[in-house]
Homo-oligomer: A and B are copies of this chain.
Amino acid sequence: MTFDPETATFLIAGPVRIHPRVLRAMSMSSLNHRGDYFHGVVREIRELLPVAFGTTGHQVILTGSGSSGLEAMYSSLLPREGRVLVLSNGNFGERSDQIVRRYATHVTTLTAPWGQPIAPEAVRLELEKGDVSAVCVVHNETSVGLTNDLAAISSEVRRAGSPLLLVDGISAVAGIPIQIREWGIDALVGGPQKGLAAPAGLALVHLSDRAVAALHPGSFYLDLKAHLKPLEKNDTPWTPAVPLFLALREALLLLKEEGLDHRLAKTHRLAEATRAGVDALGLTLFPVRSHASDTVTAIRNPEGMGDPELRKVLEREYNILVQGGQGALAGQIFRIGHMGIADWPDLLVTFAALERILGKAGRRPTPGAGVRAVVDHMP
């Protein structure tokens, strides 16, 4: 079989597979981005975004990748005074650290080894040293397939007098549970291309009342403040990527029809099935199991089978797309995404193919065990 990008089983860590309804939504003819119809699209998105974020609040839509949302958040919100504490245990933690250091002078980076969570106790110790004005954390670290315990971390932040809590939630929104209000999150950046299953190219920023009051101009294009007034009139300060807004509206409608709780529960169940399949095939999770992410499973490459070889066989022989490791993990792990509209057929064929590949490589996995582990998790 030759790999066919249009029919492949699509399980990369995002951008994820897009529903045909969402694809069709983009093919609407040109719209006046300052006219009534498009204002209606923006209004609907604003009404629907709370479904994705799980709460109402101030929400900004930027035309740009997730990283543009991160820079918008940090450049518009990092306090001029005090220390900024960045929590980093993966590729995206490093990215936040890089951006934060462009805008803040006193930065402390608290790291954990890749595959290990940020320990809330370590955060407490750093906070107890005093003078921290903002804490920056990646909720769901896609690069290592790990979810940081934001409930516990946020509790430490509140205990320390509530410095600003700024969250990279790009791969968390509509993928794992987030309690924006309960955890006292001041700003959170979400991406449309993960749990929401819309195309990449927009960044979704949630802001608390306190964050809105603290906004200051940073970048010109990424100035969050410039968006708030136009958005009240369902308008954008700069020319919006109209097709991506149309796609986002449709993806949010799909989420509303399904229900956020159902989307999260389904994602969790697929993740449990994937982890069970990994065990059944005798493979090893990369992150500690207690903090393995529900949106993406990172798996150590089997001994003697490097990456990208394993992925290339999946692609060429089975028309299945999974993802390799990023940065320092290139060649060490592969990652299976199972968020958005991923479904049982995707996992079944992937674990069937993995068994065949491991078998041919002489690793003798228990026949049928991987697929069986997935089946056992089906409703």
Contact = CB atoms under 8 A, between A and B. Distances in A.
Interface of A: 5-7, 10, 12, 15-18, 23-24, 26-35, 37, 63-68, 70-71, 98-99, 102, 191, 193, 199-202, 219-222, 238-244, 247, 321, 323
Contacts of A33: 15, 200
Copies of this protein chain in the complex: 2
Contact of A64 (B23, B26, B68): B68
B201 A241 contact: yes
A42 to B, nearest CB: 14
A372 to B, nearest CB: 29
A315 to B, nearest CB: 8
A221 B220 contact: no
Nearest to A170: B239
Contacts of A220: 67, 71, 98-99, 102
Given A5-B29, A6-B29, A63-B65, A241 B238 contact: no
**4 tightest A-B contacts by CB?**
A201-B241, A65-B238, A5-B37, A23-B27
Contacts of A67: 220-221, 238-239
Contacts of A12: 32, 34
Contacts of A240: 65, 200-201
A70 B27 CA distance: 28
Q: Describe A's contact surface by its main secondary structure.
A: loop
A240 to B, nearest CB: 7
Contacts of A202: 241
Nearest to A103: B220
B15 A242 contact: yes
A26 B23 contact: yes
A201 to B, nearest CB: 3
B65 A239 contact: yes
Contacts of A32: 5, 10, 12, 321, 323
Contacts of A35: 5, 321
Given A12-B32, A27-B27, A35-B5, A201 B102 contact: no
Looking at A30, A35, A200, which has the most chain B CB atoms within 10 Å of its CB? A30
A241 B65 contact: yes
Contacts of A242: 15, 199-201
B26 A26 contact: yes
A72 to B, nearest CB: 8
Contacts of A321: 32, 35
A203 to B, nearest CB: 10
A29 B17 contact: yes
A65 B243 contact: no
Contacts of A63: 63-65, 68, 200-201
Contacts of A10: 29-30, 32
A201 B201 contact: yes
